[in-house]
Amino acid sequence: MNIKKLMLSTLAVAAAAVASTPQAEACSRVLYRGDSTLLIVGRSLDWKTPIPTNLYVYPRGMAKQGSPAPNAVKWTSKYGAVYAVGYDGGITEGMNEKGLVINGLFCKGTVYSNDSVSGRPPMSLAMFIGWLLDMNATTPEVVKVLREQNFDLSGASFDGGTTSTLHWGITDAEGRSAILEFDHGNVRVYEGTDMPVMTNDPPYPQMMAIEDYWEKVGGANMLPGTVKSPDRFVRGTFFANHVERTDDRRIGLTIIRSILMNVSVPYQYTVEAEPNVSSTQWRSFANLTDRLYYFDIVTNPGLVYVDLGKMDLRAGQPVRKLDTSTLGDAAGEVNSMMKVSEGFKPMY
């Protein structure tokens, strides 16, 4: 399915979208497709102040709930997963044992609820990604849950009152992708296999109109170079579509890391007239094929990873946590550094 055929793609629409795009907090997600089987999702987390982020591995068979409110969504996890948890209070992204990856990125203008969904079972943003990863193995399964929309999504503010206005990228081990956005409480899901990149604003249909314009310009001749969301989207898409294809996981990781570097925001970079432009705090790389989750904190010298295939995810096993503040100069596999934990406390 070619998602571009479903989108507006005229120059006039693209120009209007660029002119109206607010300067959102910067995050980027890029999917690297290898020669035949290798799939790696890379993302950057960009924010104006450091966001302490720890890694947790949760086993199968755990009873959880999406909110402390009455009639909240409740479930018992079918799959084990690794989560990246911000402030030890909310899941930013993760990968489950089936190779399903979900990444949350900022998208200003997002409105999660409306009158028609306000009476549905409550679900907190802190647990939303965990719920989807715990209970689904593939992108089509997630999409089915989303289209049913049997939940009312909301979240606590953080970092001095910031509201988490998000959209999500969803990718499974078969390379099937979806992008989830909320339009005044209504679920909008865009599906396809040709969806390698997402950033922030504007919403996905407008972003594709911008990309369509730049595709006609030709990225080998000129690419937009700022840290604005549409510019990062265009650069990420061009490089994702023009790099070498390999199934060597080390080379593939190197390629996706280099693309993420190109769309990252330099550390402590600021623009006086654009206070919401944010530095890249960390990058992650989820190898869906080999179930490896890499984590790259920009102030640390080493790239570390969790080998999810080697973790004991059987029901009854404990939650394990990697306190990233203790990494120091660590590099490579960190399974042995993950300590038994009670789990994080959701910021409902």
242-280: pLDDT as tens digits: 999 999 999 999 999 999 999 999 998 977 776 567 899
Prediction pTM value:
0.91
Q: Is residue 260 part of a domain?
A: yes
Look at the chain and report how many structural domains it folds into: 1
11-51: pLDDT as tens digits: 333 333 333 344 445 799 999 999 999 999 999 999 888 89
Q: Which domain holds residue 335?
A: 3-341
Indicate which CATH number applies to the domain containing 53. Answer: 3.60.60.10
Instruction: Look up tokens 């402390």; give the residue.
Output: 68
Q: Identify whether the C-beta of residue 154 lies closer than 8 Å to the C-beta of residue 113.
A: yes
Q: Identify whether the C-beta of residue 142 lies closer than 8 Å to the C-beta of residue 132.
A: yes
Which pLDDT score is estimated for 164? 87
Q: Is residue 347 part of a domain?
A: no
- Stretch 282-311: mean pLDDT, rounded? 98
Q: Is residue 196 part of a domain?
A: yes
Residue 7 has pLDDT above 70, yes or no: no
Residue 129 has pLDDT above 50, yes or no: yes
